[in-house]
């Protein structure tokens, strides 16, 4: 046997020693390479050939320096010096476990991420060979990086606490969020993490963790964090204890930076408080304005009625005490003056009622429209000596303010009775118009020309002579205003001499 063979006894026809060992070596899913102590490659399996783009026949017998000449090795983004490569360390007699390295073949461009390990072999205390293991973990690492990237973007970090040792292991995100050193984040005392928590929140956090550890149930707790640089953050921690044979052995969980959310909540609360304050102030202003308006209305009513009463009273005194001195024309003029004063008084009443309704709060509720129409009909019929055949559709319902709906019907039915002959039929009902429920009052009275329809909804506009049909011209204007307040609309259909139909809708 040559001196070279004696120096390196593993160099035989088959360095693996037997067909069975060779079969197991080749069947391994991870790449396996065996280097002799003088760095010569003496065995490589099929998995390693695929990873490194090797031709085993050409690669065997190469020294490590020749084998690695076309490789670029990095560790987690940082270039690793050649003397720190796993194989180089193994050839110095080191045992290496689970080192992640990025390996690229400079000739072919093939690149992968490998979990590498090495086991040196010794004989009589002397290194004779080293076995290198190379596992392709590219997909796993990329997936983990994607998860870490997503967690980082969401400002979420993860942790694991060994309960017995009271030590914690944090991912890079959590380490950054807490401003911890690597030593603190990788096996450091868990108490160090608690030291960053705001003193007012610490007891709540400890209690939540204690209960979760004892029960095995998940915990969730928010707290403030004081970082070493003085920054204050809001954090949301979720976690659960892992129980083994009834004993909690570790806690795992995540911690999310919710500072932005908390700031938004605080801003929203402040905005709500400001809005509530402004609403209260505005409500108080409106209430004061309403009281002022009511006071003004009362004053105007009182101040206007006094001279009207004086006009009516003096006119009657003249007619009664100076009958002999007044001509027939003078009597007619005084009657006209009294009628005008009374009309002005009625107009004042209607304007004040419109103002009062406009200042009151709107109350929308489910209504029995039929009952309201019947009540309005009875009240209006009491003001007339003529009789009418009023037909009201049963079962009408709707959503509106009961006071306003009652006044709408009172005006519509009053007009129908005013402009209809004795024993005329008046119909009160509802129908679908443009896909919406509309309520109507139809009469068979004098009617009007539809080219003037817009005028009837304006204040003080009348299409008939006052001496034939007395009125103030404010009623339909009030109807339009009230219906609009309830979110509805009004309309009319008519022909001269053939009656009229007045409609309204509700929200």
Average pLDDT over residues 210-224: 88
Q: Is 320 inside a domain boundary?
A: yes
| Residue that is last in its domain, among 101, 136, 171 | 136
pLDDT at 2: 42
* pLDDT tens sequence across 256-299: 888 887 787 777 788 888 888 888 877 777 666 666 666 666 66
Q: Are residues 227 and 200 in the same domain?
A: yes
Q: Is 181 inside a domain boundary?
A: yes
- Nearest Cα to Cα of residue 399 among 369, 376, 374, 370: 369
* pLDDT tens sequence across 221-251: 899 988 877 788 888 888 888 888 888 888 8
CB-based burial label for 155 (10 Å; 0-12, 13-18, 19+): middle
pLDDT at 396: 93
| Contact criterion met (CB below 8 Å) for 453 and 329 | no
Q: Is 292 inside a domain boundary?
A: yes
Q: Give me the torsion for CA of 240, 242, 246, 247, rounded to 10°.
A: -100
Using CA atoms, how far apart are residues 38 and 107, in angstroms rounded to an integer? 25
Using CA atoms, how far apart are residues 401 and 4, in angstroms rounded to an integer? 110
Q: Is 262 inside a domain boundary?
A: no
pLDDT at 320: 77
Q: Are residues 499 and 436 in the same domain?
A: yes
Q: Are residues 500 and 372 in the same domain?
A: yes
Q: Are residues 277 and 182 in the same domain?
A: no
Task: Indicate the pTM of the whole model.
Answer: 0.40
Average model confidence (pLDDT) across the chain:
81
Average pLDDT over residues 49-53: 87
- How do strand 388-392 and strand 424-433 relate by DSSP bridges? parallel
pLDDT exceeds cutoff 70 at 145: no
pLDDT exceeds cutoff 80 at 63: yes
- Nearest Cα to Cα of residue 104 among 145, 148, 138: 138
Helix, strand, coil share (%) of the chain residues, nearest 5: 45, 30, 25
pLDDT at 426: 92
Q: Looking at residue 297, which CATH number applies to its domain?
A: 1.10.287
- Higher-confidence position of 219 and 468: 219
| Contact criterion met (CB below 8 Å) for 172 and 144 | no
pLDDT band at 1 (very low <50, low <70, confident <90, very high): very low
pLDDT at 442: 93
Q: Are residues 324 and 445 in the same domain?
A: no
pLDDT exceeds cutoff 60 at 3: no
Q: Is 281 inside a domain boundary?
A: yes
pLDDT at 10: 44
| Contact criterion met (CB below 8 Å) for 205 and 194 | yes
Average pLDDT over residues 465-486: 74
pLDDT band at 347 (very low <50, low <70, confident <90, very high): low
Query: In sequence order, what are the residues at sequence separation of 6 or more whose Cβ sits closer than 8 angstroms to the Cβ of residue 27?
Result: none
CB-based burial label for 293 (10 Å; 0-12, 13-18, 19+): middle
pLDDT band at 4 (very low <50, low <70, confident <90, very high): very low
Q: Is 375 inside a domain boundary?
A: yes
% of the chain surpassing 70 pLDDT: 82
Q: Is 374 inside a domain boundary?
A: yes
Q: Are residues 377 and 501 in the same domain?
A: yes
**Tokens 């004040």 appear where?**
352
Count of domains for the chain: 4
Q: Are residues 445 and 487 in the same domain?
A: yes
Hey, is 353 helix, strand or coil? helix
* pLDDT tens sequence across 488-500: 999 899 888 889 9
Hey, is 151 helix, strand or coil? helix
Q: Are residues 248 and 272 in the same domain?
A: no
Q: Looking at residue 217, which CATH number applies to its domain?
A: 3.30.450.20
pLDDT at 281: 79
E-assigned strand segments in 303-419? 365-368, 388-392, 397-400
Query: To 5 degrees, how large is the angle CA 230–CA 236–CA 238?
Result: 135
pLDDT at 475: 78
Q: Are residues 311 and 217 in the same domain?
A: no
pLDDT band at 87 (very low <50, low <70, confident <90, very high): confident
pLDDT exceeds cutoff 80 at 315: no
pLDDT band at 153 (very low <50, low <70, confident <90, very high): low
Q: Structural domain of residue 182, as residue ranges? A: 142-257
% of the chain surpassing 90 pLDDT: 12
pLDDT exceeds cutoff 70 at 34: yes
Q: Are residues 147 and 132 in the same domain?
A: no
* pLDDT tens sequence across 354-412: 666 666 677 888 999 999 999 999 988 888 888 889 999 999 999 998 988 988 998 89
Q: Is 385 inside a domain boundary?
A: yes
| Residue that is last in its domain, among 226, 257, 288 | 257
| Contact criterion met (CB below 8 Å) for 486 and 401 | yes
- How do strand 388-392 and strand 397-400 relate by DSSP bridges? unpaired
Q: Which of 181-185, 275-279, 442-446 has the highest mean pLDDT?
A: 442-446
Using CA atoms, how far apart are residues 251 and 219, in angstroms rounded to an integer? 10
Q: Are residues 132 and 147 in the same domain?
A: no
Q: Which of 102-116, 143-157, 164-178 has the lowest mean pLDDT?
A: 143-157
pLDDT band at 456 (very low <50, low <70, confident <90, very high): confident
| Residue that is last in its domain, among 357, 380, 413 | 357
pLDDT at 11: 46
pLDDT at 225: 87
Q: Are residues 332 and 418 in the same domain?
A: no
């Amino acid at each position: 046997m040559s001196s070279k063979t004696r120096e390196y006894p593993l160099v035989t026809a088959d360095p693996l020693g037997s067909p069975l060992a060779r079969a197991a070596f080749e069947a391994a899913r991870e790449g396996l390479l065996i280097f002799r102590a003088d760095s010569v490659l003496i065995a490589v399996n099929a998995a390693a050939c695929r990873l490194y783009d090797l031709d085993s026949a050409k690669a065997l017998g190469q020294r490590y320096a020749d084998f690695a000449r076309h490789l670029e090795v990095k560790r987690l983004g940082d270039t690793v010096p050649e003397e720190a490569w796993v194989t180089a360390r193994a050839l110095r007699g080191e045992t290496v476990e689970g080192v992640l390295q990025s390996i690229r073949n400079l000739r072919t461009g093939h690149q992968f991420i490998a979990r590498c390990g090495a086991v040196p072999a010794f004989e009589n205390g002397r290194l004779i060979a080293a076995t290198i293991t190379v596992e392709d973990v590219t997909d796993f690492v990329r997936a983990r990086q994607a998860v870490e990237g997503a967690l980082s973007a969401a400002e979420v970090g993860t942790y694991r606490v060994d309960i017995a040792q009271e030590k914690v292991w944090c991912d890079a995100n959590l380490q950054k969020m807490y401003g911890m050193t690597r030593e603190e984040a990788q096996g450091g005392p868990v108490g160090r993490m608690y030291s960053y928590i705001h003193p007012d929140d610490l007891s709540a956090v400890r209690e939540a963790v204690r209960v979760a550890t004892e029960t095995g149930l998940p915990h969730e707790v928010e707290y403030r964090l004081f970082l070493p640089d003085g920054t204050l953050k809001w954090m949301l921690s979720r976690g659960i204890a892992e129980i083994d044979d009834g004993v909690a052995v570790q806690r795992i969980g995540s911690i999310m930076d919710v500072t932005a959310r908390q700031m938004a909540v605080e801003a929203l609360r402040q905005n709500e408080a400001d809005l509530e304050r402004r609403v209260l102030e505005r409500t108080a202003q409106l209430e004061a304005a309403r009281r002022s308006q009511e006071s003004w209305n009362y004053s105007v009513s009182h101040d206007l009625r006094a001279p009207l009463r004086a006009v009516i009273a003096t006119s009657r005194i003249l007619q009664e005490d100076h009958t002999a001195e007044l001509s027939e024309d003078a009597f007619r003029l005084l009657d006209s003056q009294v009628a005008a004063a009374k009309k002005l008084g009625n107009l004042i009443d209607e304007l004040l009622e419109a103002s009062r309704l406009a200042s009151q709060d709107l109350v929308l509720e489910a209504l029995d429209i039929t009952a309201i129409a019947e009540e309005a009909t009875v009240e209006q019929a009491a003001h007339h000596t003529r009789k009418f055949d009023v037909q009201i559709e049963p079962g009408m319902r709707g959503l509106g303010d009961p006071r306003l709906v009652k006044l709408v019907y009172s005006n519509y039915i009053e007009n129908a009775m005013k402009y209809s002959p004795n024993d005329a039929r008046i119909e009160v009902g509802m129908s679908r118009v443009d896909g919406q429920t509309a309520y109507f009052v139809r009469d068979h009275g004098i009617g009007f020309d539809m080219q003037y329809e817009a005028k009837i909804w304006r204040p003080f506009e009348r299409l008939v002579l006052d001496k034939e049909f007395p009125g103030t011209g404010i009623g339909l204007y009030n109807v339009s205003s009230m219906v609009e307040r309830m979110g509805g609309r009004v309309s009319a259909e008519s022909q001269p001499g053939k009656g009229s139909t007045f409609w309204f809708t509700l929200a």
